[in-house]
Structure 1
Amino acid sequence: MTLIMGVLNVTPDSFSDGGQWASTDAAIEHGLLLHAQGADLIDVGGESTRPGATRVAPEQEQLRIIPVVTELASQGLRLSIDTLNASTARAAAKAGASIINDVSGGLADPGMAAVAADTGLTYVAMHWRAHAQQMDALADYGDVVTDVIAELRARVDALTAAGVAREQIVLDPGLGFSKKAEHNWQLINRLDAFAELGLPVMVGASRKRFLAAVLPVDAPVLDRDLPTAVVSVLAAQAGAWAVRVHDVAATRTALNVLASVREWTSPSPRQVPGAASRPSQWTHD
């Protein structure tokens, strides 16, 4: 069953929610709401990684997120920390986080692998080429699927060489990061190819700008939630370990539909009203 990771941006400059949850109290309240709506994991972030975003000092990042992590963890929620900084990841681990979600896959901070190894937390390593202000200039690929798989394999080799256990690692193809719109669609179309890496995969398409192509011109960002839910279903069908989303309620509904379809693909005749007249292929496997 694909997990839902709910996004909790404790930042004033998020592209997706305009800093609505920037205060500690508002962030805690929203984290609890995401959990109630069906999020299996809550991903707490204190630094925006949107294209062009300015870096935040680790100290400021920690002031934003550690009180939120501490309170939500005390209420039994399973938390992920969305950070590029090793010191923030370590502080969040002490505060109760159980997952490190590093969009740089350990490239932004050379100390991150040691934190993952020391803590033993699940470590999400995303495909990444540069920080937010430079990443769009590096969206150049021969074959994007082949290239991303090769670069993720190199990150796995580097991380395990640094002491991170292979079973800790989850991979993320990095939709929207150093990718043009066509690259994102190609990756979504071939998510099954990432199975060759032999590790769980997380997919984060939520509200990203490439989804605007399927909407009317000038549609608001929140209108991207429906295409996000569709991508989440496609990711689940490809075997994704988790999908990272802002609109948890819609994604939970979409994945419930997929689960129902899978459950009733070949129903037993006695479970279906009027099934006595159905052809013999309607049997339970």
Structure 2
Amino acid sequence: MVNPPHEAMHHIFRHDLHLFSRLKDVLGLPLPDAVEAVVLPNDLTETRPVERRVDTLLRLDSARDGSLLLAIEAQGRKDPSKPASWAYYASYLWTKYGLPTVLLVVCQDRATAEWAGLPVSSGPAYMPTLSVRPIVVGPHNMPVITDPAKAAEDLALATLSAVTHAGDPDIGAILKALSTALRDVLENVADPIIEFTAQGLSKRPAQDLWRTLVAVDLSFYKSYLAEEIRDEGRAEGSARASADAILLVLEQRGLDVSDDVRARVTGCDDPETLRGWLARAVTAVTAEEIFAEE
């Protein structure tokens, strides 16, 4: 079923057409440096009434290695029927375009990623006719980017990191690094990154935390999400949202939150103080440490 996380996991490759080429160090593969990347139609439907669509299809052109097709699939769960579809995509694209095809599967959980990476063959085991083994991107091999400077070096990669690590215990630090990096970029650059990240984080509390960070750190942007959050903030109170985010980060990191800490956080209505506490909540060793500089 198509949903926001599904769309974000492959649309980020359309947004930044050279992102795949920059994954060579992450994936440990001799990927070509694409001179040009082109978004191709993703409709693989035949004349018979069976519709088949790969999520995203790119053609990567390299002066040294020629051209190849990159078929990108976002996979949210194990699906025994998928390997056959992937084999169809690869063979159809090879036939239609006469180019070698790479299949990239993007996942948000380790179990699905490990399943997607298993080789599957048609025909008996002793005589396989066609074998499918995608390249898989997921929480098992994507970098955990918690340094704002590193996030700023490659915003698309940082977004993919956040989306694939949506259920990671370090998601708070990952999202904080990304929101901090976005403060210093142009609005038209930041807007799609804000939206892709919001779409990709279906798993709460990551989604709630990102919305709060956008409201606090990126309140000057006018993206759809930022406007939506500001509307909610006017209705509910931004201080309460920030307090909830602080407690959420502390609890998700497994820290003990005493009644005194909870009361102090929820009783504060100063935005700058709450912003400081939220920043320290990402790395604090104890819940009380967020007040260390007070």
TM above 0.5: no
TM-score, normalised to structure 1, is 0.29
Larger gyration radius, structure 1 or structure 2: 2
Say which structure, 1 or 2, has more relative contact order (CA 8 Å, 6+ apart).
Answer: 1
TM-score by length of 2: 0.28
